[in-house]
């Protein structure tokens, strides 16, 4: 099992694949948003500029100077960036995309521990490692948003997890599990009772991902021009490169989880079949496109507006959906 | 390559996942350290904090307190609830405070009993 585990962690869907996919996703978002705003977007490095994010990353990591102001702690920032990347990649072993899959009862709690605790904490500590009034403002905004985004993310994911656990309880290998939910969530879309709940969950999770990714209209923690670059103000060179990579990996992993837990991944086809691969890619691209469209058509919210939107359109509907899902589950 | 599914205890899985996260983090740091030592350079420029060209003494001026975020939240979302609770709890009458507390604990107790009833019924 060791060679397969090393392959899963380091190559697919581990470090190499997820980094490449994260950089592709960044290119896709930048290009799509640019074309919608009548700009060219990345164009020079690689075909259609597809290698531009990779070139930016290499430049920041290995070419640009590491400028440290007298109060900053760049080593701590790099440590937390690496911890965030590690947590995001480790969480992928809970999904059926990994050749070595880990599962247990209640493993969704481990997913939240890795993705909803470690990644925001990493970003917050990276911001705090270079103290500055602008980065402190950015971090306080990030903390405020995190306090409402992460609980609603948790509740939204409970909808398919509860439904799969109760509706397919006799067939699944583990209960309240990311792995089992990924295998059976596509069937919930075919059931007229569970389909509306899944639809509510999907809409909520798309809004929540937008906020989690700090994309417009939720780009308040970095608020370019308003607070210079927010929590990234004092970051430069390799620290900025690692932070951006962590941010891209966070978005990628969040979208992969939506594709599996809400949209059913490649199922009913197999992973290694052509229809399965095409379906998986199509679902990923569609979610990425929705994120890009929302990013390009909205302006920036104020912090209170952002909290109100997440509260009104993510937390409350998902809470109602979870209660209804539990009632439905008890009677099915 | 055949897929391998490992079903384990939740606590064991937590330990394994944290171990995997630590391993990947170490590898990222090692790759970075190796390549950075070969190609990177450290700048000695700009040791001052960036505060929009202002003198650092500006930071000693009074600024908005961090508790402002909490009160902002209360004002925006929980104003009515805040005043309602404040009027009951801080009215100075012991019986109002006791009524509030017993209502709240009563609510929790009823919820716990309902949960227990559902569990026993299943």
Residue pLDDT, tens place only, A111-159 = 999 998 899 999 999 988 888 888 888 888 888 889 889 999 999 999 9
Where does residue A82 fall: left (phi above 0), alpha (psi -120 to 50 degrees), or beta otherwise?
Answer: alpha
Model pLDDT for residues A232-250, shown as the tens digit of each residue:
888 888 899 999 999 999 9
Indicate the burial class of A91 (C-beta count within 10 angstroms; 0-12, 13-18, 19 or more): buried
- Three-class SS state of A77: helix
Question: Strand pairing partners for A103?
Answer: B7
Q: Please check whether residue A65 touches B, CB under 8 A.
A: yes
Residue A274 pLDDT exceeds 80: yes
* Residue-level pLDDT, tens digit, chain B, 122 residues: 678 888 888 999 999 999 999 999 999 999 988 887 666 566 556 577 777 777 777 777 666 677 777 787 777 778 888 888 888 778 888 888 888 888 889 999 999 999 888 888 77
Residue to substitute from A60, A89, A267, A323, interface B, most B β-carbons within 10 A: A89
In angstroms, what is the C-alpha Rg of chain A?
A: 20
Mean pLDDT of all residues belonging to chain A: 90
The model carries a pTM of 0.85
Q: Please check whether residue B56 touches A, CB under 8 A.
A: no
| pLDDT value for A190 | 93
Nearest-angstrom CA–CA distance, A272 and A265: 12
| pLDDT value for A137 | 85
- Three-class SS state of A100: strand
How many residues are given for chain A? Answer: 332
| pLDDT value for A67 | 78
- Three-class SS state of A47: helix
The whole-number average pLDDT for the span A159-166 is 92
| pLDDT value for A329 | 80
Sequence-distant (≥ 6) Cβ neighbours of residue A245 within 8 angstroms? A19, A22, A57, A81, A85
Do A217 and A128 meet the contact criterion of CB atoms below 8 Å apart? Answer: no
Do A239 and A66 meet the contact criterion of CB atoms below 8 Å apart? Answer: yes
| pLDDT value for A135 | 86
Q: Please check whether residue B92 touches A, CB under 8 A.
A: no
A112 C-beta neighbours (distance < 10 Å), count = 17
What angle (nearest 5°) sits at the alpha carbon of residue A115, between those of residues A92 and A244? Answer: 95
A75 to chain B: closest CA residue:
B29
The interface pTM score, or ipTM, of the predicted complex is 0.90
In whole angstroms, what separates CA B103 from the centre of its chain?
29
């Amino acid at each position: 099992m060791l060679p397969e585990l090393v392959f899963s962690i380091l190559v697919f869907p581990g470090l190499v694949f997820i980094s490449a996919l994260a950089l592709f996703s960044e290119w896709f978002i930048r290009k799509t948003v640019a074309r919608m705003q009548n700009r060219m977007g990345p164009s020079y490095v690689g075909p259609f500029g597809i290698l531009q994010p990779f070139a930016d990353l290499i430049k920041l990591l290995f070419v640009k100077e590491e400028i440290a102001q007298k109060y900053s702690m760049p080593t701590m920032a790099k440590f937390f960036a690496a911890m965030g990347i590690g947590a995001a990649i480790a969480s992928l072993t809970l999904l059926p995309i990994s050749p070595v899959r880990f599962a247990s009862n209640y493993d969704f709690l481990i997913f939240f521990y890795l993705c909803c605790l470690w990644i925001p904490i990493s970003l917050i500590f990276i911001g705090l490692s270079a103290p500055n009034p602008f980065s402190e403002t950015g971090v306080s905004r990030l903390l405020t948003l995190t306090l409402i985004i992460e609980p609603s993310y948790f509740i939204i994911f409970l909808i398919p997890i509860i439904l799969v656990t109760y509706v397919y309880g006799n067939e699944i290998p583990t209960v309240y599990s990311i792995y089992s939910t990924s295998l059976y969530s596509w069937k919930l879309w075919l059931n007229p009772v569970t389909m509306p709940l899944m639809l509510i969950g999907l809409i909520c999770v798309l809004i929540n991902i937008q906020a989690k990714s700090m994309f417009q209209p939720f780009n308040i923690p970095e608020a370019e021009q308003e607070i210079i670059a927010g929590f990234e103000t004092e970051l430069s060179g390799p620290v900025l490169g690692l932070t951006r990579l962590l941010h891209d990996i966070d978005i990628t992993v969040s979208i992969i989880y939506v594709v599996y837990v809400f949209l059913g991944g490649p199922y009913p086809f197999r992973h290694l079949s052509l229809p399965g691969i095409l379906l998986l890619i199509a679902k990923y691209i569609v979610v990425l496109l929705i994120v890009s469209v929302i990013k390009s058509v909205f302006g920036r919210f104020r912090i209170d507006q952002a909290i109100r939107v997440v509260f009104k359109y993510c937390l409350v509907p998902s809470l109602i959906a979870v209660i209804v899902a539990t009632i439905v589950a008890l009677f099915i | 390559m055949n897929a391998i599914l490992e079903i384990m205890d939740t606590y064991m899985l937590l330990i394994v996942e944290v171990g995997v996260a630590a391993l990947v983090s170490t590898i990222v740091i090692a790759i970075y350290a190796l390549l950075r030592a070969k190609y990177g350079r450290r700048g000695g420029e700009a040791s001052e904090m960036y505060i929009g060209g202002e003198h650092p003494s500006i930071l000693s001026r009074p600024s908005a307190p961090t508790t402002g975020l909490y009160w902002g939240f209360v004002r925006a979302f929980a104003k009515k609830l805040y005043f309602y609770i404040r009027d009951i709890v801080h009215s100075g009458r012991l019986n109002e405070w006791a009524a509030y507390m017993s209502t709240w604990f009563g609510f929790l107790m009823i919820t716990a009993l309902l949960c227990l009833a559902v569990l026993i019924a299943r």
